[in-house]
Amino acid sequence: MSSALQTPLAPSTPRRTVALRQPTVDDGGELWRMATESQTLDVNTSYAYLLWCRDFGTTSLMAEIDGEPAGFVIGYVRPENPETLMIWQVAVDSSHRGQGLARTLLDGLVDRVPGVTRMETTITDDNRASIALFTSFAKRRDASIQRDDLFGDHHFPDNHDAERLYTIAPLS
Ligand SMILES: CC(C)(COP(=O)(O)OP(=O)(O)OC[C@H]1O[C@@H](n2cnc3c(N)ncnc32)[C@H](O)[C@@H]1OP(=O)(O)O)[C@@H](O)C(=O)NCCC(=O)NCCS
């Protein structure tokens, strides 16, 4: 499913065509590129992004600006709790940040996945942009946001920082 809007993302940006659509296997490489260039995300193998697009495309979304890949969000519905949408990664190309694109991706995804009443994501304490994004998302949805420990640094076999679980609910 694809939708396009002829709109500036923020008042100060020129008019662009922003299109949101479900990513396909053909987009997996671009998702991997954007994750790599984000310089913040854990970059998974290119294979993982192809597989993700194949099997979890319906709970993921890609943004294009004027036909060029500009951002993505990938997530899944938790098998044990089908009302929970887990957001695994969200990224926006550096040239398009600060214009509301990540917000648009999260809104677009939640509105596309039926039956979801709760969002989860994990964030490391040093990722201020991500914390601000999800806090702002919760506020605009008039939902609560709760932070809990999930994966401590002792869980990771490498030098990965602890990942806290953020839960946003209720989603309407
Ligand atoms: C995090 C990220 C996706 C935000 O994308 P974006 O399109 O610039 O975000 P938006 O413009 O939609 O901003 C949404 C909200 O987050 C806030 N925000 C975004 N980046 C921020 C930053 N660097 N510092 C503080 N607040 C920030 C915005 O002010 C906005 O809040 P508001 O609604 O109260 O005004 C982007 O910075 C990115 O790709 N980072 C690298 C990957 C990453 O860390 N992903 C998140 C972990 S999965």
DSSP labels for 73-84? EEEEE-TT-TTE
Q: Is the pLDDT of residue 13 over 70?
A: no
39 CB burial (10 A radius; 0-12, 13-18, 19+)? exposed
| Nearest atom in ligand 1 to 127's CA | 44
Could you say which DSSP state residue 153 is in?
Answer: G
pTM over 0.85: yes
Is 6 or 90 the better-scoring residue by pLDDT?
A: 90
- Percent of the chain scored above 90 by pLDDT? 89
Q: Is the pLDDT of residue 105 over 90?
A: yes
The full set of domains in the chain, from first to last, is 17-169 (3.40.630.30)
Q: Is the pLDDT of residue 6 over 60?
A: no
Q: State in Å: Cα 98 to ligand 1 middle.
A: 6
Q: pLDDT for 39-88, tens place per residue?
A: 999 999 999 999 999 999 999 999 999 999 999 999 999 999 999 999 99
In single-letter form, the type of residue at position 170 comes to P
Q: Which residues of 118-151 are buried (b: 16+ CB within 10 A; e: fewer)?
A: bbbbbbbeebeebbebbeebbeebebebeeeeee
Say what the pLDDT of residue 18 is.
95
152 lines ligand 1 (CB under 6 A): no
Q: Which two tokens stand for residue 96?
A: 């398009």
Q: State in Å: Cα 85 to ligand 1 middle.
A: 19
What mean pLDDT is predicted for residues 98-119? Answer: 97
Q: Residue 121 region, left (φ>0) first, then alpha (ψ -120 to 50), else beta?
A: beta
